[in-house]
Chain A
């Protein structure tokens, strides 16, 4: 992997803020899982969030599309504030795509139907147009020939690529990735990361929770390290990996990088 992406792949400098999290706290019962989170993500930016298990990184991104509720602070997505207002939540979810660790494709629908469901029912796009869009994105993730199969007939890597295509069909403004490659066999990780790099090259705003440091080094604008619910360190990749500031970051990096 190289740094080309940062140099010339994405010349558009990050635009206006698309996700603004201010002084956000979250509790699971009595457990303080997210502490004073402040994060602004601009259009076109790619953020990687890493950290030990239990640090709250998945919970953080799940708060952005309201799969989890925050108790304190503000989250504003695409100019809309996240509150208990269902209409706002649904509008935000139309613009925020999510890719899950365990794919979560709909097993009773074909691949094509999985992709056209969102556009047809949420964006009210006519079926023919939705199918065209679906085939376009299936081509992009190199899986067009499986369009009429069912998720159960595909491998993990193929399913994850379909999941990415499914989110893209909604033409979201931001894509959230919750450990997209953690459930994959090593030989399938590359095919999914390649798709994510293509996405990055087109300027998609991405917030990725992952342990794939190679992807962070080559495609991220910023790397965040979280531990025990706090954002401990935040930096550009070069600085983050070569000059970690905090002890906890150094410890984490030594554990993670020694595996590569």
Chain B
């Protein structure tokens, strides 16, 4: 008899139904206080007003591959502006028949970037792959050899131009920034003042003004007859600009490393370059990955400023399609499209940095 009553008491009670599962989650996260419940209701109201309208505009009433006139008649989103002008938005003025060349160049770039993102692949062959890859990309864009028709750099536009300016800009700016940060720490007054003046001057002006200056002033300083390619001027401006910001971020990282690390390295007999390369920089650069990636993401988006000096990057080619009278008034759709492209670029940089941090912080 004692057994049966005990077995009744030992019976497991289930938790009340309002505390588990979906209802439990809702209660704990969305309705857990009066204020939160109020916010939830307000948010749901706005979602109810906006989402169905957006879905109707973007997907139900939208036209995907029609003419401008048909779009206006339909009244929904006009994705046709993207569909019909796709090749111009992406490739700009690059000759129509040869547009496979920048396409292949971009695919090559993405493959190389993907390979480089995995640190296990960082061997000699990757360096060679990049050298060959860069040569191939240059060849595809410029042409002139192997039967490829020559395409002047003034015709390079759209997404390939944005990628060109970003990838080269960021890859060159990073080591330059690190060098500037080290120079600013130097005990030699000449080097130190040079670096300080450079960093503070560049940081004091907007990128737009640097682009103007490089575009207008550069030629004034050069001897008669020598001209510098417009793209090169923009490239140099972007590199110089980004490097100054990276320098300051790296300087913060260097300051965060305790004196003890410097002293332990020195007392072992390591010279300056070994000390920095093996001990200090690996630690400092790792610490400042978050702000560094922030700067690189901004620089990627800032390439859109080159419209000011007449270069047709992704943003400018998109704007051009909008000035076509057939497609006027559909700017939202066009900008949403390139926003998605910029987002894809920035988000992958950001995810990669998170992954890199996870890898580097494993174990310590």
Contacts and interface: CB of A to CB of B under 8 A. Distances in A.
Given A107-B283, A107-B364, A108-B283, A170 B269 contact: yes
Contacts of A151: 364
Interface stretch (A26-34, A36-44, A88-96): A88-96
A167 B260 CA distance: 15
B364 A170 contact: no
B274 A121 contact: yes
A67 B263 contact: yes
Indicate the size class of the contact surface on chain A: 20 to 34
B52 interface: no
Given A107-B283, A151-B364, A122 B264 contact: no
Nearest to A170: B268
A153 to B, nearest CB: 8
Given A117-B278, A150-B364, A151-B364, A104 B270 contact: no
A54 interface: no
Contact of A106 (B264, B267, B363): B264
Given A67-B263, A100-B263, A151-B364, A118 B279 contact: no
> Mostly helix, strand, loop or mixed at chain B's interface?
helix
A65 interface: yes
A108 B269 contact: no
Nearest to B271: A90
Interface in B271-315: 271, 274, 278-279, 282-283, 286
A242 B286 CA distance: 54
Contacts of B263: 67, 98, 100, 104
Nearest to B264: A104
A152 interface: yes
B271 A150 contact: no
B261 A122 contact: no
Contact of A93 (B258, B261, B267, B286): B267
B269 A94 contact: yes
Given A121-B274, A121-B278, A93 B269 contact: yes
A167 B267 CA distance: 9
15 contacts: A67-B266, A100-B264, A104-B258, A106-B261, A106-B265, A106-B279, A110-B363, A117-B268, A117-B278, A121-B278, A149-B363, A150-B363, A153-B364, A166-B268, A167-B268
Interface of B: 258, 260-261, 263-271, 274, 278-279, 282-283, 286, 363-364
